């Protein structure tokens, strides 16, 4: 803190300055009172292994510990605090009903090694969720084991590779449009494929003619994100599928943005062979949920025999985990995860689906698209949009409107913090210069969106008026001022070291590092 904002205590009103817990403790203090352990007669019970110097653990009273972690929690920004402008990727609303059901006895306390006879309800739940996912996507099979969206991508490419090798047709290339998610080329490379980028057209979508020109019999798959990372629906999706299938390739769709089309479009009807689904994006489960995430992969009939094990099967009203694959003559790629440790995500997702119903899911996707288009329409007169026309679930802006102001996309994002908003995703997608990607999701009210829109317009007007210094100094009111992000990424201080008098080698403390970065 600098200038008039500096206080004697270091606090700012009720926003308290909070040192590291190691910097608060003292060796002579403790929050517990334990009886002395018995010592062997005639000697020190620890003998030669008794420590010679303090071990650096903080000693605090119970109130100090409680206050420390409470103050840290108050410095967090969450969806319970306010709008997060890129909601479904990280902070979409998680209905409390889902959380209540995930904690029910018999669901929240299961063990993966329990006999199948004792977890019939859990297996039935997984079987029911799989049915919902195949029904909503129009694809006949689903692999439930992937623990995240990127893990699902990997499984999808693994099944494609297995299917190609099974027919004696191994291939070496995967085509990935520029508008696809960044994990797509990484996944293809991890599966041993050479990745070829496909340019977009002036509309922000896949350039169909350039895609067709890149296709040949050595292409294993085309990976398309739809709606894409520019927030646009790939309206040539059926033509892309036909072109891929004509050369014997498979069509992989990144389903991270399924939230924009669920209940309205069945990807299987578009010629898609496999697609991963991020349950935390479309079906409201927490992102990771304090443990494994969940990225099921829906598969076409041609890929289903190669799906990883295990999966749930029903026989005469009883459920069991099948280890030999979805078909008797199938050739599954094996296990990609030891257990379904993400079961809690299954509970939450199914609770969401069943409480919403098919009509509710359709309305949710419509509301998500409506909210994004409302922001696009309201800001378009002030902000510059790189592509014409309506968007899907997210509105994309570029930095052309900031030309010659001396203010950058990052500056505007930092100024948003002082206004009480977490910044939207910036500088992504990479195909748009100075990108600002805004996704309000379906649960935000018009009143909340109007407040965000008014704030964005106010900041833009201030930038256009030439107040460059204001933006360079933002944020002013956050717990920390603007950090050196390049240094933080290249030389992070990830652990605390005790002071020189108790450490073998003098080391700079994390608190000193953060303090300098904040000035």
Q: Do 85 and 440 contact (CB within 8 A), yes or no?
A: yes
Report CA 30 to chain centroid distance, whole Å: 39
Q: Is 163 exposed, middle or buried (0-12, 13-18, 19+ CB in 10 A)?
A: buried
> Where exactly are the structural domains of the chain?
97-353, 375-472, 486-518
Name the fold adopted by 97-353.
Answer: 3.40.640
Alpha-carbon span 268 to 101, nearest angstrom: 31
Task: Give the contacts of 116 (CB within 8 A, at least 6 positions apart).
Answer: 123, 319, 320, 321
| CA 67 to mean position of chain CA atoms | 30
Q: Which of 229, 235, 280, 287 is nearest to 259 (CA)?
A: 280
d(CA 260, CA 255): 10
**pLDDT at 510 (0 to 100):** 42
Name every residue whose Cβ is closer than 8 Å to that of residue 471 and which is 6 or more positions away in sequence: 407, 408, 411, 412, 414, 415, 462, 463
Q: How far is CA 226 from CA 144, 235, 442, in A?
A: 21, 9, 18
CA atoms in the 13 A half-sphere facing the CB of 21: 17
Q: Compute the distance between CA of residue 304 and CA of residue 65 in angstroms, rounded to an integer.
A: 52
Q: Are 368 and 233 in contact (CB under 8 A)?
A: no
Residue 378 CA to residue 332 CA, distance in Å, equals: 50
How far, in Å, CA of 88 to CA of 255, rounded?
A: 12
Closest residue by Cα to residue 154 from 310, 323, 274, 270 = 274
pTM (two decimals): 0.88
The rounded distance, in Å, linking the Cα atoms of 223 and 244 is 10
Same CATH fold assignment for domains 97-353 and 375-472: no
Instruction: Look at residue 46 in the predicted model and tell me its pLDDT.
Output: 83
| DSSP-assigned states of every residue in 99-154 | HHHHTSTTTTT--TTS-GGG-HHHHHHHHHHHHHHHHHHT-SEEE----SHHHHHH
Distance CA 102, CA 359 (A): 24
Is 196 buried (19+), middle (13-18) or exposed (0-12) by CB count in 10 A? middle
Give the single-character DSSP code of 310: P
pLDDT in tens, the chain (519 residues): 444 567 777 777 777 888 889 888 887 788 888 888 777 776 788 888 888 877 778 889 889 999 999 999 888 888 888 898 886 666 788 899 999 999 999 899 999 899 999 999 999 999 999 999 999 999 999 999 999 899 999 999 999 999 999 999 999 999 999 988 888 999 999 999 999 999 999 999 999 999 999 999 999 999 999 999 999 999 999 999 999 999 999 999 999 999 999 999 999 999 999 999 999 889 998 875 556 789 999 999 999 999 999 989 999 999 999 888 777 677 999 999 989 989 999 999 999 999 999 999 999 999 999 999 999 999 999 999 999 989 999 999 999 999 999 999 999 999 999 999 999 999 999 899 999 999 999 999 999 999 999 999 999 999 999 999 999 999 998 888 888 888 988 999 888 877 665 544 444 444 444 433 443
Alpha carbon 226 to its chain's center = 17
pLDDT at 516 (0 to 100): 39
Reply yes or no on domain 375-472 having CATH 3.90.1150.10.
Answer: yes
Tokens of 136: 């909503």
Say if residue 165 is exposed, middle or buried (CB neighbours under 10 Å; 0-12, 13-18, 19+). Answer: middle
Q: For residue 127, give the nearest of 331, 326, 334 by alpha carbon.
A: 326
Report the distance separating Cα 15 and Cα 29, nearest Å: 26
Q: How far apart are CA 154 and CA 326, in angstroms?
A: 19
User: Backbone phi, then psi, for 368, in 5-degree steps?
Assistant: -60, -45
Residue 290: the pLDDT is 52
d(C-alpha 278, C-alpha 259), whole Å:
9
Name the phi and psi angles at 404, rounded to 5. 70, 10
Angle formed at CA 41 by CA 39 and CA 43, multiple of 5 degrees: 75
Structure tokens at 504: 């073998």
pLDDT at position 500? 65
**Both tokens assigned to 443:** 């649960």
Question: Is 180 within 8 Å of 228 (Cβ atoms)?
Answer: yes
At 90 the pLDDT is 61
The two tokens of residue 293 are 């995430």
């Amino acid at each position: 803190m600098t200038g008039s904002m500096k206080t004697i205590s270091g606090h700012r009103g009720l926003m308290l300055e909070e040192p590291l817990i190691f910097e608060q403790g003292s060796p002579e203090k403790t929050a517990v009172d334990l009886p002395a352990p018995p010592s062997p007669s005639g000697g020190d019970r620890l003998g030669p292994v008794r420590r010679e110097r303090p071990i650096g653990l903080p000693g605090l009273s119970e109130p100090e510990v409680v206050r420390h972690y409470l103050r840290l929690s108050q410095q967090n920004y969450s969806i319970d605090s306010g709008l997060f402008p890129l909601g479904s990727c990280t902070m979409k609303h998680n209905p409390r009903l889902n959380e209540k059901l995930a904690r029910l006895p018999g669901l929240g306390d299961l063990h993966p090694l329990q006999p199948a006879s004792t977890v019939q309800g859990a297996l039935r739940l997984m079987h029911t969720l799989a049915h919902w996912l195949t029904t909503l996507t129009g694809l006949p099979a689903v692999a439930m084991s992937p623990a995240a969206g990127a893990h699902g991508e990997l499984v999808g490419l693994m099944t494609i590779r297995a299917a190609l090798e099974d027919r004696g047709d191994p291939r070496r290339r995967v085509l990935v449009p520029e508008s696809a998610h960044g994990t797509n080329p990484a996944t293809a490379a991890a599966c041993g494929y050479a990745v070829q980028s496909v340019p977009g057209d002036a509309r922000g979508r896949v350039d169909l003619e350039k895609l067709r020109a890149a296709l040949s019999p050595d292409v294993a798959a085309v990976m398309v994100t739809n709606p894409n990372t520019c927030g646009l629906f790939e309206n040539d999706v059926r033509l892309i599928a036909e072109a891929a299938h004509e050369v014997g390739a498979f069509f992989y769709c990144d389903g991270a943005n399924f939230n924009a089309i669920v209940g309205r479009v069945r990807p299987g009807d578009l010629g898609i062979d496999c697609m991963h689904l991020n349950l935390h994006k479309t079906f409201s489960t927490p992102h990771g949920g304090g443990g494994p995430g969940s990225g099921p992969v829906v598969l076409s009939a041609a890929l289903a025999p190669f799906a990883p094990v295990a999966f749930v099967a029903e026989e005469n009203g009883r459920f069991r985990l099948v280890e030999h694959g979805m078909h008797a003559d199938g050739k599954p790629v094996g296990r990609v995860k030891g257990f379904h440790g993400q079961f809690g995500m299954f509970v939450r997702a199914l609770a969401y689906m069943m409480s919403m119903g098919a009509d509710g899911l359709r309305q949710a996707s419509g509301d998500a698209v409506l909210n994004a288009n409302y922001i696009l329409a309201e800001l378009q007169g002030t902000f510059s949009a790189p592509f014409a026309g309506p968007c899907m679930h997210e509105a994309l802006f570029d930095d052309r409107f900031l030309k010659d102001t001396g203010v950058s996309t990052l500056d505007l994002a930092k100024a948003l913090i002082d206004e009480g908003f977490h910044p939207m995703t910036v500088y992504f997608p990479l195909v748009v210069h100075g990108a600002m990607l805004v996704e309000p999701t379906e649960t935000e009210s018009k009143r909340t969106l109007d407040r965000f829109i008014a704030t964005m317009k106010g900041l833009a007007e201030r930038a256009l008026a030439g107040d460059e210094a204001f933006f360079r100094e933002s944020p002013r009111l956050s717990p920390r001022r603007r950090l050196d992000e390049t240094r933080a990424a290249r030389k992070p201080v990830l652990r605390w070291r005790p002071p020189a008098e108790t450490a073998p080698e003098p080391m700079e403390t994390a608190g000193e590092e953060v303090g300098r970065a904040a000035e």
